[in-house]
Structure 1
Amino acid sequence: MRPILRYFSPSFQHFCNYLLLSLLVVSRGYAAANASPVADTMRVQPNLEEIFIDPAYYSVLQDPTGQLSLADVQLPRYTAQFQRGDSIPTNMENPGAAYWLRLVVHAEGPLAQHWYLELFDSHINDILFYPATSTERGAIHTGADQRLTSRKFPYKNFLFRLPLDSNRTHTFYLRLTSNSKTSFISRLRTEQPLAVHFQTEYGLLGGFYGVLLIMVVYNLCLYLFIGEQTYLRYVVYVLSCSLVFLSEDGLGFQYLWPDYPALNQLVIAASPILLLLTFSYYARQFLDAPQRLPHYDPIVRSVVLLSVGVLLVDTLWLHSGWGFWFYLLPYGMLYYAAVQVWRRGFRPARFFLLAHALVAISVCFLILRKLGINNFTNTATVYSMNVAFVIEVVVLSYALGEKIKGIKDATIRAQDKLVKQLRKKHQAQDMLVEQLRQNQELKDQLNTELENLVTRRTEELRQQSETIAAQNRELLQANGLLALQSAAIEKLNLDLERDLHAAKAARVLSKEVDFGEFSQIYPDKDACLTYLANLKWADGYQCRKCGHEKFCDGREPHSRRCTKCRYVESATAYTLLQKCKFSIIKAFYAVFLIYTHKGSYSSQELSRVLDLRQGTCWSFSQKVTEAMRRRRQAVDFDENEGWTHVLLDATGASEEENMLYDGATVVRLEK
């Protein structure tokens, strides 16, 4: 414009220059009026040792492109875009974008110690700290994506020394980039309180991890000595808790994997998911949810697995930053399961509820920090989760011990009951032995009397030799009497054997028979099949396909083949023992135990008695219990009937075979 103004008079040139200067002043005043308010200057005084950096003391500029440099952000158009920290959220709302923090510090008076800037959030991926505004030389580049050696101070948080000169104002810039919603919370400290803070913080954290290690070793030893699987699940749960805290407070990256930042990111993302799995794995076992809540437990297991899948998708691909909300539903359902189990009389569940109520309160503080609500953020709330987990592991260890003690007391009571049953059994055996002794004495007495009678009759025959006919009649009478006595003795022996067998069979109808004594009544598979076949065809044989009533022996033992249609039916077909996967003797004894205990015999005890898997015993118990229920609903049910009536429950037959059987019956009735 100046080449054009030279053609005008000097007075006009001065007027134009004045006009341009006025427009420039007005435009700058307008821009200053519309710019964001400037952040307050933080003042460092000699009598201060640490200062919490309030959001009002720093300004924030969001760089969505991530291409701005230190020189760029100091240009007027970007300087005007800085916003005070108390006018925006105190965390990074857009993960992946670059955020520039501008901090103005004025040092008043002589400084006796060095000042340090500490960023509390150890999850910030990339950090550039510029100690000077005139050049990028001397900038410190660190972050969670860098090795620990990139930090000048090998500390779990990010620590930067501020080069402050007395009675001067300094401006510092930080460029922050993070993949998650991290916060801007920070503090200024001098050397002495920083050293005291290090000792206190590391001492408390060492005590915290020491308690977790003691709980791990203690419960692992209990598992090795006792073999109770709940202790092992508890150890895995505590280890996953330790992994979460090591990734959350940065100690894991500082001491365990300082040269592997990628592993650190993996642990940060995966440890909460692992904690959810191990907690549900432990909590369901501790609460006996599969047994106490058989309908609710499969839903909980499905929700946990679905939540884990959603969290994995969010961690690997979506990166929404809101994944922690997916933890609330499975944890809430597990807590509800604990309430239900406690209401049903499981006393150790109250410790579970107490411990996890404290953890839930500390998690609420964590969620508030994730949402950028820092009204409750202080030392107590930040470390409240550590305290809650220490209390939790101690309380749950005690609760686990109480649960094992309850199981032990129940075992002792069962043993006492078994001892009483054995005592009654021995008393019955003593009575049986006494009865046999009396029977033997009676037989000896009878033999003695017979001998005396024979002697007397023989002497009478010698003395009475009047006639041969009389002697023959007396001899015939004596022989007949001997025959009658022998028959009486034989009948008595048969009665004794029958009474002995009846006594044993009568004991089978009680609850006081162990497997060994039961096996004497049904010693092998053939005896069981014989009994089952006689019980099944007690009213006569009838073919299920054609209704024919004549049969011959089948290829399998105790099976019957129809002589008309050649249909073969085994002894176990259409009974409760159809397709039974284990020994028929054990199946007989299992039906006997469950029936005599009215369906309240536990699968654990049945597994121990029969030496079978608990899952197999539980499935068979459900089958027997259902058969008992149907038997009680039958019209011909008798309260005093024996357990063998349950064996004829035809739950193994298919609907097609039942239809064939009904059709054959109709044909037979029409005939």
Structure 2
Amino acid sequence: MTFARFFLSLRRVGGLPPLLILFGNLLFLLLLPALVKGQAADTLRVAPGLAEVFLAPGSYDVLEDPTGQLTLGQVRQPRWARQFRRASSLPTTTMEHPGAAYWLRLRVRADGALAQHWYLEMFDSHLNEVAFFPANGAAPTITGAGRPLSTRKFPYKNFLFQLALRDQQTQTYFLRLVSSSKTTFLGRLRAEQPLAVHFQTEYGLLGAFYGVLLIMVVYNLCLYLFIGEQTYLRYVLYVLSCSLLFLSEDGLGFQYLWPHHPAINEVIIAGAPILLLFTFSFYARQFLDTAQHLPRLDRWLQAVTLGSVAVLVLNAVWIRSGWAVLLYLVPYSLIYYAAFRVWRRGYRPARFFLLAHALVALSVLFLILRRLGIDTFTSTGTVYSMNVAFVVEVVVLSYALGEKIKVIKDATIRTQGKLVKQLRKKHAVQQQLVEQLHQNQDLQNQLNTELESLVAQRTTELSQQGETIAAQNRELLQANGLLALQSAAIEQLNQNLRRDLQEVKTARVLSKEVDFGEFSQIYPDKDACLTYLANLKWANGYQCRKCGHEKYCDGREPHSRRCTKCRYVESATAYTLLQKCKFSIIKAFYAAFLIYTHQGNYSSQELSRVLDLRQGTCWSFSQKVLEAMRRRRQAPDFDENEGWTHTLLDDATTAEVEEPAAESANTSA
């Protein structure tokens, strides 16, 4: 019986003198802090029905070794064992002194026969050295962020150790932790099956997250290459630096990208936040256009950012102070202040910046608190808050990009309107030139008539007027040359006008403002539709569906292709939405266009009226188009902004197959 239990039992004994009971109570209250401080940590209990147990501060003991020289045998000696303190009694449950060794003592008891293995998981992947000492005296597992990934028994982004638990037995485990920065002792015990489910869920979500980042990098890089706007390139650099930070924070980078280079891992852990600060400032100044709206504040922002980056690099290389991370707050706060000032001045895109980066700022604050060793707000939600915040940022900035594209589109439409007006003016000038040509021709005819009459009447004056007539002929030749140049210019203008009209019609088709007559001008006949469908179908090259051969020749049907190896023939409509279509392919194109542009809300009655087809036929085809649209939305490469022609390549129906033997028979016939 412990000393505390002795006094508690003494209070329950009847018949004792009241003075003795009072003295016992006072002595118990005076010794209670020392008793609580010196008693061992609570035992962690696992049972068959449990899935996981968190390492609460009251469930383990901590011993700080400033020299880092103590061994397991020494810490088990009474001299050092008495210096273990319960984590809940410490001022803070963090590793306050980077570089020092911290020993953790855990007591785990299995209440019942366990059907699954249990594992100890340490969350912080930045621990430079982690040594796990099993309770059965086996060889310790020594690993950490400063050692290759091959030193870990389980190749996982966090530190995972197996516990050899026995029924109705309490076992003591020791952990030796060393870190170059302030961190916490966060961890938990997990059963094998829930741990496997957790792995699948966590890695699936992280894979989707990094997939979104990759899509945004490729998408904005393509926009930069096509448009040349530097904002997209700066945004790509910002997304890449965020990806590097995420890879270093969650440990996936060390697990998959540089598992054999712990030195690179430590450099990235220290440098990724600094790179994020630099690229974020680089991108934010361009997006907000602070150099134009707030030139004085822009100079301060640039100086503060560069100064903070220099101090942070110096701290990471030489000083190694845990409080240097507070420098991140200064440039981030100044950038948000600049965004607010720019928004107040009427720059509308700044509101998207404030909205998109609000959660990012909060997640950066959580990151700084973790780097300072403050675990008050540390949880699964705050650890992955930056991932969620960055996805929200991508959505908001994508909407901002859509609005920006809409503004560009409106400006393009206005420019096209001005161009049409200019073409009309040029056409009017062309008409004036034609009239002038007619007048010149009439004048020339009149002059020729007068000359003929003068030749008949004044033969005697022919020699005198020869030079005059020759001069007039030279002038007429020059005028004819000018007229020829003008005629060529007029022809070029006519060609440009026809091309612009064709482009306007095509643009109207893409903007969903076209009737069947105008649509037929874009796709005038069956051959044009088959040509377009064949080019769309084999845009990425031909490959035989039967043998995989990539060389072909023309089949007997128009726009069909025959494999030169197995002689398998595939028509342009095979494996598409138009296979075995029983009405005109032009009407089928227009029907698919109408249903897609109206997002499936186009009745078969209206389609029957527009296409002059039976309602049953229109209903059946509408169902095929709707099914193709549904499958297209479920495709991995689906894009909300893609055109209606993607539905034409739906291959859910049974493709027509022309056997090589039949083709050989037809060829011989």
Structure 1 stretches lacking a partner, 5+ long: 1-28, 435-671
> Tell me, what secondary structure is at the counterpart of 2:322?
coil
- Alignment match of 1:70 (pick from 60, 69, 72): 72
Cα distance in 1 between the residues matched to 2:120 and 2:52: 10
> 1:382 corresponds to which residue?
383
Matched, 1:350 2:339: no
Residue among 87, 97, 100 paired with 2:100: 97
1:381 positional shift: 2.2
Alignment correspondent of 2:54: 52
Q: Structure 2: how far apart are the matches of 1:418 and 1:367?
A: 55
Whole-Å separation in 2 of the counterparts to 1:284 and 1:365: 24
Q: Go from structure 1 to structure 2 and tell me whether the alpha carbon gap of 1:31 and 1:325 turns closer, same or farther (over 3 Å shift).
A: closer
Indicate how the Cα distance of structure 1 residues 258 and 349 shifts in structure 2: closer, same or farther if over 3 A, else same: same
Q: Which amino acid aligns with 1:123?
A: H
Aligned with 2:86 (options 67, 84, 87): 84
SS at match of 1:127: strand
Q: TM-score, normalised by structure 2?
A: 0.57
The Cα shift of 1:393 comes to: 2.0
Change (3 A) 1:319 1:38: same
Query: Equivalent residues in 2 for 1:515-534 (5 A)?
Result: none
Unaligned runs of 5+ in 2: 1-30, 436-669
Write the distance in 2 (CA, Å) between the matches of 1:277 and 1:376. 26
CA–CA separation in structure 2 for the residues paired with 1:381 and 1:388: 10
2:160 alignment partner in structure 1: 159
* 2:143 aligned partner: 142
Contact 1:365 1:376 in 2 (8 A): yes
Give deviations 1:312-350, integer Å, cap 9, x for gaps.
001000110223211111111111111111112221211
1:333 matched residue in structure 2:
334
Instruction: Describe the shift of the 1:163–1:410 C-alpha distance in structure 2 as closer, same or farther (beyond 3 A).
Output: same
The equivalent of 2:132 in structure 1 is: 129
Question: Does the 8 A contact of 1:124 with 1:177 survive in 2?
Answer: yes
Q: 1:226 deviation in Å?
A: 1.5
Match of 1:13 in 2: none
Would you say the 8 A contact 1:215–1:394 is kept in 2? Answer: no
Alpha-carbon distance in structure 2 between the residues aligned to 1:31 and 1:374: 25
Give the letter for the 2:151 counterpart: S
Q: Distance in 1 between matches of 2:413 and 2:53?
A: 63
Structural mapping, 1:170-319, within 5 Å = 170-319=171-320
Conservation of the 8 A alpha-carbon contact between 2:183 and 2:372: no
Find the residue that maps to 1:295 and give its secondary structure. Answer: helix
Contact kept, 8 Å, 1:115 with 1:191, in 2: the verdict is yes
Structure 2 partner of 1:541: none
Deviations 1:423-449 (A, max 9, x none): 999999999xx9xxxxxxxxxxxxxxx
Cα deviation for residue 421 of structure 1 reads: 9.4
Q: Kindly report which structure 2 residues correspond to 1:209-608, keeping only aligned pairs within 5 A, or say none.
A: 209-406=210-407, 409-410=410-411
- Paired amino acid for 1:121: D
Residue identity matched to 1:199: Q
* Aligned equivalents of 1:408, 1:378: Cα separation in 2: 45
**Distance (whole Å) between structure 2 residues aligned to residue 41 and residue 311 of structure 1:** 42
How much has 1:401 moved relative to structure 2? 3.9
Alignment check: 8 A CA contact 2:129 2:144 kept: yes
Looking at structure 1, the residues matched to 269 and 133 of structure 2 have their Cα atoms a distance apart, in angstroms, of: 28
Rounded to whole Å, the distance in 1 between the matches of 2:115 and 2:373 is 35
How far is 1:32 from its partner? 8.3
Q: What is the aligned counterpart of 2:111 among 108, 111, 125?
A: 108
CA distance in 2, matches of 1:383, 1:180: 20
**CA–CA distance in 1 between the matches of 2:265 and 2:352?**
34
Residues 325 and 425 of structure 1, relative CA distance in 2, 3 Å threshold: farther
- How many Å apart are 1:264 and its aligned residue? 0.6
Secondary structure in 1 matching 2:42: coil
Residues 411-420 or 184-193, more deviating = 411-420
User: Equivalents in 2 of 1:420, 1:293: separation in Å?
Assistant: 39
CA contact (8 A) 1:238 1:393 kept: no
Q: Distance in 2 between matches of 1:190 and 1:33?
A: 34
Q: Residues 409 and 322 from structure 1, CA distance in 2 versus in 1: closer, same or farther, beyond 3 angstroms? A: farther
Of 196-205 and 325-334, deviating more is 325-334
> Residues 159 and 179 from structure 1, CA distance in 2 versus in 1: closer, same or farther, beyond 3 angstroms?
same
Structure 1 position 269, deviation (Å): 0.9
Q: Structure 1 length as normaliser, TM-score?
A: 0.57
For the pair shown, which has the larger CA radius of gyration, 1 or 2? Answer: 1
Partner SS state of residue 60, structure 1:
strand
- Indicate if the aligned counterparts of 1:286 and 1:400 stay in contact, CA closer than 8 A: no
Offset at residue 414 of structure 1 (A): 6.9
Q: Distance in 2 between matches of 1:327 and 1:30?
A: 44
Q: Percent identity?
A: 67
Quick check: 2:52–2:189 contact (8 Å CA) kept in 1? yes
Residue-pair matches, total: 407
Q: Return the offset for 1:379.
A: 2.1
Cα displacement (A) at 1:183: 1.2
Quote the offset at 1:235 in angstroms: 0.9
Give the AA of the match of 1:208. F
